[in-house]
Chains A and B, each alone.
Chain A
Amino acid sequence: EAQVTQNPRYLITVTGKKLTVTCSQNMNHEYMSWYRQDPGLGLRQIYYSMNVEVTDKGDVPEGYKVSRKEKRNFPLILESPSPNQTSLYFCASSRVQESTDTQYFGPGTRLTVL
């Protein structure tokens, strides 16, 4: 089954404790992206990757890191989480060519930083 998976689905942590949220896709997509969703602010793009070893900032990259060492994986790293990073996070993937560049989203990771 074609899918984007995220782990963990739920995470409660404390300020300053480094964490990684994993994202994996099995569709051989070149493009992967991370978003956060907050009430009243909608979905905002954090980072994206057009292919292996190519990453770029979205609109809200501060406090986050990413890496793309393999095509299927795109982990999101919070080196020193803060309470304002409490949010619902989504990973997405797609092809890059027009007409096939629909993004498919994962199920989400709900993060709470105390």
Chain B
Amino acid sequence: EDQVTQSPEALRLQEGESSSLNCSYTVSGLRGLFWYRQDPGKGPEFLFTLYSAGEEKEKERLKATLTKKESFLHITAPKPEDSATYLCAVKRGNTGKLIFGQGTTLQVKP
């Protein structure tokens, strides 16, 4: 069965304390892995798409990596404005189906 699992569920960091979020997946024919950021009461906001193992992408303090079984979202020297829920999703084969993990809620304290 296709599945996406994110860990940890919640993460509290001090400002400047780097860490990583994990997204483990099992899917038939991975078409792409997506990372989104979601603020309370708002729609998910796109961060990255990764298509093949070994691929890496960066944006400001965030870096996403992909292996054949999991993806990591590395946060370097986070700031309070990085506090949000981070969602991982995988696209299944040549279909329009997208499977989301339950998210990691990040809180960065000043």
Contact = CB atoms under 8 A, between A and B. Distances in A.
Chain A: interface secondary structure? strand
Contacts of A4: 43
A56 to B, nearest CB: 6
A22 interface: no
B32 A41 contact: no
B43 A41 contact: no
B25 interface: no
Contacts of B100: 35, 42-44
Q: Which of B31, B32, B42, B100 has the most CB of A within 10 A?
A: B100
A33 interface: yes
A106 B89 CA distance: 17
Interface residues of B, number: 24
Contacts of A44: 100
B87 A50 contact: no
Chain B: interface secondary structure? strand
Interface stretch (B12-20, B44-52, B58-66, B72-80): B44-52
A11 B51 CA distance: 38
Contact of B46 (A40, A99, A104, A108): A104
Given A41-B102, A45-B98, A101-B91, A90 B43 contact: yes
B81 to A, nearest CB: 20
List the 6 closest pairs (A to B, CB-CB), nearest first.
A105-B43, A42-B102, A43-B100, A48-B96, A105-B44, A102-B46
